[in-house]
Structure 1
Amino acid sequence: MAQRYGGKYSPDPTDTDPTETTPDIGTYRDAKRTRAGGRVNFLFLAPLPLIWQAFGNGASAMALNLLALGALLLAAWLSREGIIAQEAYDARKVARRPGVPRKMAGSLLTGIGLGLAGFAAGGGTLAALVYLVAGTLLHGFAFGLDPLRDKGMEGIDQHQTDRVARVVDQAEAHLAAMRDAILRSGDRQAEARVERFQTKVREMLRTVEEDPRDLTAARRYLGVYLKGATDATIKFADIYARSRDAGARSDYMMLLTDLEENFTAKTRKLLQDNNSDLEIEISVLRDRLQREGIHLDS
């Protein structure tokens, strides 16, 4: 009869942590693979042969090749940052266009870098111009343009959207610090729980972005409570990395559970309030139409 192997360091299936729950599929809901890899990483590697071309062909060739190398590496970095900015733009229903068109600047720098490299190779001015135009166009076709206008801001007060943008940026900074801190703990389950909690926080962020009037009700959650969660995560990570204290881990997991439940409940209430506002507006409109002698069929 088969028997389960067990040893001193083998996990015991009877030892379960009551604070741990199975992550639900909401943790990865709407998750998409980032496009800031693959082709973008290749852009950092492609110009490296210019290092060898820069030496042994005279001072002017060295200067041109090094300038071309710098332009192409800067173009690669701008392209990656532009893709990351566009992914953040696409993930939000209400968003501002990027302040700097990074991908378009990357296209132009790619063309300039290729033009300089072509001129350094002795191709002449015409060949350099051909490389410049071709490089710019091909990069633009490959990576596209930056978002050129704001999204979802029609009819929304500018002052309110600015306030929401500041709160969202601050909340994202807290989430980034929280993610970096939990990685130091070396606990994969804790990392998964933090990720799930952050998913709930971002649901609230998207709700506030869609209706900036919710900011007042959500400000304490996105400010005080989230800052407290970040501080607690930093302290837990430091303690657990040193001592692997099971008590501290249990307390931290229970804190995450409480926070997740409260953020979820608050987000649900914000959505219900938005629905109530819509029902009130519809009711007021119906009353006005009836006073004008217009009767709507229910």
Structure 2
Amino acid sequence: MAFRYGGRYSPDEARRGTADGRRAPPAPMLHHLASRPKWVTVAATPFLLGAFFQSPLGMATDLAAFGLIALAMWLTREGLAAEAAYDTRRVARRPAFPRKLFGGLLAGLGLGLGAAEPGALAGAGVIGLAGFALHLLAFGADPMRDKGMDDVDSFQQNRAARMIEEGETHLSQMQEAIQKIGDRRLEARVAGFAATVRDLFEQVRDNPGDLSAARRYLGIYLIGARDAAVKFADLYGRTEDPQTRAAFETFLDDLEKGFGAQTDKLLEGDRSDLEIEISVLRDRLVREGVRPAADPASRPPLASPDARDLDGLLSPERDSLRKLP
């Protein structure tokens, strides 16, 4: 199997695939400020290097200052990653732990501690506050509101989140089993399958009502794929039988097609729902005289008979008939 050359920083990497048309694993989501915490940590290295040329108290203070700043930048980097995932998704909860906020507090505390001297605690406090303010200006605040969840059932959303979390665990176990073989081609193949599965994860995360239709894929099928990968890794690691490898790759092909077809089916259902809503509201606007009536021949057909039923429920003529004795 041949792969197109590319890497993390190659253009159009997200849509790049293998030579046989399979999807390549996507590049990780990165925030546009993801490189800044590293440089702040590098800028704090004078605390680390100069600590060994001071008194024991000064050494402990400078080492603590560097440790706080390094921890702050780690928290900030994690907060930026969480914000990138939040911005990418249509429906998302705010981060449970505001990492950037606490990163800013630790950065200010580290700067204040590094600048502290006997009799100059007020100046150290001012430096710490300035460090917190600069951190806020450089990295921004954490997302503090849920997004796109006004009409989402929280119970269903929590169920979908648990199922997706379990599915991510199955995928990780599957990939770990294949990595034990040490075959990069197989690792890339499983990574491509994982990318297709995560498309279904995103669809269910955005529309928790699709969980019932996707339950078998998130549970039974994914557990079966994990178990098959573990058994294949154990057998192929001992025998290196090409027939066993071909059977496993064929199994992945069939399974990937099934997951892709289910994702497309759910997406098509969303499109049908949108067409129904548009058709019903358009007819309602016509009845209220907001827009002229369209030629019936040019009107797109309704995607489902449910739309006609819903349209009838909204019809003022039916309301008037109900009032007749």
Deviation at 1:100, TM superposition (A): 0.7
Secondary structure at the counterpart of residue 217 of structure 1:
helix
Q: 1: distance between equivalents of 2:288 and 2:126?
A: 69
Which moves more between the two structures, 133-142 or 94-103?
Answer: 133-142
Q: Does residue 161 of structure 2 align to residue 162 of structure 1?
A: no
Match of 2:54 among 54, 57, 63: 57
Q: Does residue 93 of structure 2 align to residue 109 of structure 1?
A: no
Change (3 A) 1:239 1:76: farther
State the Cα deviation string for residues 60-113 of structure 1 (Å, max 9, x = none). 323322331331122122112212222222232111010011012111111110
State the Cα deviation string for residues 170-213 of structure 1 (Å, max 9, x = none). 22222233333322222222122112212211211222122221
Task: State the AA in 2 paired with 1:265.
Answer: A
Could you tell me whether the CA contact under 8 Å between 2:94 and 2:143 is conserved in 1? yes
Deviation at 1:55, TM superposition (A): 4.4
Q: Does residue 181 of structure 2 align to residue 181 of structure 1?
A: no
Q: 2: distance between equivalents of 1:117 and 1:150?
A: 37
Could you tell me whether the CA contact under 8 Å between 2:72 and 2:107 is conserved in 1? yes
The residue number in structure 1 matching 2:197 is 201
TM-score (norm 2): 0.73
The residue number in structure 2 matching 1:244 is 240
Match of 2:258 among 234, 247, 262: 262
The residue number in structure 1 matching 2:302 is none
State the Cα deviation string for residues 266-297 of structure 1 (Å, max 9, x = none). 11111222233334445555676788898742
Match of 1:72 among 69, 73, 84: 69
Q: 2: distance between equivalents of 1:85 and 1:253?
A: 34
Could you tell me whether the CA contact under 8 Å between 2:91 and 2:147 is conserved in 1? yes
Structure 1: which 5+ runs fail to align?
Answer: 1-10, 12-20
Alignment of 1:1-298 (within 5 A): 22=19, 24=21, 26-27=23-24, 32-33=29-30, 38-55=35-52, 57-120=54-117, 124-282=120-278, 296-297=293-294, 298=299
Corresponding residue pairs, total:
278
Could you tell me whether the CA contact under 8 Å between 2:33 and 2:139 is conserved in 1? no
State the Cα deviation string for residues 239-287 of structure 1 (Å, max 9, x = none). 4344433222212111110111101111111122223333444555567
Which moves more between the two structures, 237-246 or 171-180?
Answer: 237-246
Task: State the AA in 2 paired with 1:163.
Answer: R
Structure 2: which 5+ runs fail to align?
Answer: 2-17, 300-325
Q: Which has the bigger relative contact order, CA under 8 A and spacing at least 6?
A: 1
Identity %: 46
Change (3 A) 1:282 1:148: same
Could you tell me whether the CA contact under 8 Å between 2:94 and 2:144 is conserved in 1? yes
Secondary structure at the counterpart of residue 185 of structure 1:
coil
Task: State the AA in 2 paired with 1:90.
Answer: D
Task: State the AA in 2 paired with 1:277.
Answer: D
TM-score (norm 1): 0.79
Deviation at 1:49, TM superposition (A): 4.1
Deviation at 1:136, TM superposition (A): 1.6
Q: 2: distance between equivalents of 1:243 and 1:104?
A: 53
Please give the root-mean-square deviation of Cα atoms over the aligned residues, in Å.
3.1
Which moves more between the two structures, 262-271 or 52-61?
Answer: 52-61
Could you tell me whether the CA contact under 8 Å between 2:31 and 2:83 is conserved in 1? no
Could you tell me whether the CA contact under 8 Å between 1:174 and 1:227 is conserved in 2? yes
State the Cα deviation string for residues 121-180 of structure 1 (Å, max 9, x = none). x69224313321232223223322211111111221221212122222222222233333
Could you tell me whether the CA contact under 8 Å between 1:286 and 1:296 is conserved in 2? no
Q: 1: distance between equivalents of 2:173 and 2:40?
A: 29
Change (3 A) 1:293 1:67: closer
> What stretches of structure 1 move > 6 A for 4+ residues in a row?
286-295
Could you tell me whether the CA contact under 8 Å between 1:113 and 1:132 is conserved in 2? yes
Deviation at 1:31, TM superposition (A): 6.1
